[in-house]
Structure 1
Amino acid sequence: MPEPYDLITMGRIGVDLYPLQTGVPLAEVETFGKFLGGSATNVAVAAARLGRRTAVISRTGDDPFGTYVHRALAGFGVDDRWVTPVERYPTPVTFCEIFPPDDFPLYFYRLPKAPDLEIRPDELDLDAVGTARIFWMTGTGLCAEPSRSATLTALRARDRSGVTVFDLDWRPMFWPRPAQARAAYAEALRYATVAVGNLDECEIATGEREPRACADALLAAGVELAVVKQGPKGVLAVHRDGTVAEVPPVPVEVVNGLGAGDAFGGSLCHGLLAGWELERIMRHANAAGALVASRLACSSAMPTAAEVDALLTGD
């Protein structure tokens, strides 16, 4: 039997086209850089950069950008065997505007439908999903069929074995109305052991907005560990066993805040796999996110373990 993956992620994949000029509206940008993108994909890349064996479950268009995605995944050492083409939909492209330190509007081109929402239950390798040390899924994967059914099928196959992370990943433009999201999130939370989200995402999942109330509501929904990201106030993590870690952010000069949360996620997985104490996991994840925020790109900006350690120690 093949050795289990450290991490399998399931969800968005595509191409990020980021402006090479900062502080400039998109209409005035003249040059762009092309990068591998998609939140679940970036998390797999982030964990791979930290030495973990990772894979992605997703779908692309049957087009040149799809070819690029496979080449980029291979370059980052992420297994692409479960990234398959969809003939009728193009590979998604995402643009952003960069106005440091805290304004980074995103423009998703995912119409008429993104291929990553065409993941089907009967195409899943449930043995691999079930035995992965960590399985990571996202709120976006619940927003449309057949991806919703596929995501829930994967969660049921794990049956709360190992670590199952629900990245709340609230993107309002992908949902007809918030109430639909809350119902789908409640179903997924039954199978997750870890939930991760910012205050907006936690509010969609739980109806709460105060950080500790968010964490308590997520624990009540069934998870073992609730991680509430609070932006400039840092991160709050609460475990069912009573352990609490509240860690401030690592100060850096922000270039592009997009992708910081994905670096945080990859580091979170790395720390959970290593069996670190909760506060150490949160400090490492904060530092990984800060490093990406200080860089232009997302996937190619994901830090190595040595880079995170250097930031934490001040070397």
Structure 2
Amino acid sequence: MDISTGIKKNSFLVVGRVGLDLFPDPPGTGIEEMSVMHADMGGSSANIAAGIVKLGGQAALVTCVSDDAVGRACQKMLERYGVNGTHVRVVGGEARTSLAIYESRVVDHQSVIYRNGAADFEMAEDDVAAVDYSQFGALVTAGTVFAAEPSRSAAFRAFALARAAGLPVIFDIDYRPYSWPSVEVAADVLSRAGVLSDVIVGNDEEFGFMAGGIDKGLEKARELAATTASLVIYKMGPEGAITIAPTGETRTGVYQVDALKPTGAGDSFMAGLLTGIADGLSVPDAVMRGSACAAIVVGKPGCAPAMPYPNDLADFLARHPGPTTPVIKELSDAYPPF
């Protein structure tokens, strides 16, 4: 199965964590001043899966949750969002489902993440080996799944099994320093994951981290596109993105909004990108759909609950004056067969 065919099945196996998000109400309230908090589903991979489902795709999550009320709540939230939780394993002992507390504000924004003894890091090779990969079109994961063992080995095993089944591997670098034992380990492991991926998405800092300096990030992204990856998306925040394929590059802008918070944008971007390609959009247009989804999410409280449905996306695009820059193709008008 080639990359185009796989993504267009619009059925994704997503590997990585689900967690519980808490955010103070009303928006703008600091954690220290909170008296009311909302709770909803979080975790990069779970957010991507929820975003895919809300936009009309199918997604199943492979991870572990703790054998307690929080773990069971996350399982119920996956079900509520329509994410297949068949491959979510419950683990006992002292492992705990991840918890994130963050503020719905940009100025002086604070996020507090509890990841010590995280249950999702208990995911093992048996968990990924139990999946019937023929039921899916592509595998998707975010970098945090590689931060600790046995999850790291399980994720690499999932890559191998997906490739053996003909599924493209889609990798969001998603570097979170607090999850890793050292910078050196993170750089090595994430670079190895990147070489094994067909589609790689990351921001300028993440590619720069893999390359040994932010000034080398774009060169690293181009190197991956020229050697092992079919598609690399190099995100530059408010400056837009450069989509790189072996045949050429395309620069796109962003949809500027008054952001309520900085969290959730990358997860929503990935969901919009993948479902856009699945719906038959060209790669540049799918990147712009991802950018619109990211803009929607940063304007609302929460992450999974802020992910748009198709009507939300259509309303946003109808009201917004448009992206900051038009699509600019460079090097070649040819593009991969999506």
TM-score by length of 1: 0.92
Structure 1 stretch 207-216 or stretch 10-19: which is displaced more? 207-216
Match of 1:33 in 2: 38
Query: Does residue 1:291 correspond to 2:296, yes or no?
Result: yes
Match of 2:334 in 1: none
Alignment of 1:94-173 (within 5 A): 94-100=100-106, 104-111=109-116, 113-125=117-129, 127-129=131-133, 132-159=136-163, 161-173=166-178
Q: Which amino acid aligns with 1:282?
A: V
Unaligned runs of 5+ in 1: none
Task: Describe the shift of the 1:127–1:253 C-alpha distance in structure 2 as closer, same or farther (beyond 3 A).
Answer: same
| Residue 245 (structure 1) shift | 2.3
Corresponding residue SS for 2:214 = coil
Q: Which amino acid aligns with 1:227?
A: I
Question: What percent identity do the matched residue pairs reach?
Answer: 27
Q: Which amino acid aligns with 1:284?
A: R
Match of 1:80 in 2: 85
- 1-side partners of 2:282 and 2:26: how far apart? 40
The question of whether the paired residues in 2 share the 8 Å contact of 1:97 and 1:106 is answered with: yes
TM-score by length of 2: 0.86
Match of 1:231 in 2: 237
The question of whether the paired residues in 2 share the 8 Å contact of 1:130 and 1:157 is answered with: no
| Residue 196 (structure 1) shift | 0.8
Q: Which amino acid aligns with 1:141?
A: V
- 2-side partners of 1:131 and 1:200: how far apart? 35
Match of 1:240 in 2: 246
Residues 220-273 of structure 1 deviation map (CA, whole Å, 9 limit, x = unaligned): 46211111111111222111232x222211122211221111111111111222
Task: Describe the shift of the 1:94–1:302 C-alpha distance in structure 2 as closer, same or farther (beyond 3 A).
Answer: same
| Residue 200 (structure 1) shift | 1.9
The question of whether the paired residues in 1 share the 8 Å contact of 2:41 and 2:304 is answered with: yes
The question of whether the paired residues in 2 share the 8 Å contact of 1:18 and 1:97 is answered with: yes
Corresponding residue SS for 1:159 = helix
The question of whether the paired residues in 2 share the 8 Å contact of 1:39 and 1:262 is answered with: yes
The question of whether the paired residues in 2 share the 8 Å contact of 1:120 and 1:150 is answered with: yes
Find the partner of 2:98 among 79, 85, 92: 92
Unaligned runs of 5+ in 2: 1-8, 321-338
The question of whether the paired residues in 1 share the 8 Å contact of 2:14 and 2:60 is answered with: yes
Match of 1:281 in 2: 286
Alignment of 1:9-24 (within 5 A): 9-24=14-29
Match of 1:302 in 2: 307
Match of 1:58 in 2: 63
Match of 2:5 in 1: none
The question of whether the paired residues in 1 share the 8 Å contact of 2:103 and 2:261 is answered with: no
Alignment of 1:243-254 (within 5 A): 244-254=249-259
Pairwise CA RMSD of aligned residues? 2.0
The question of whether the paired residues in 1 share the 8 Å contact of 2:142 and 2:171 is answered with: yes
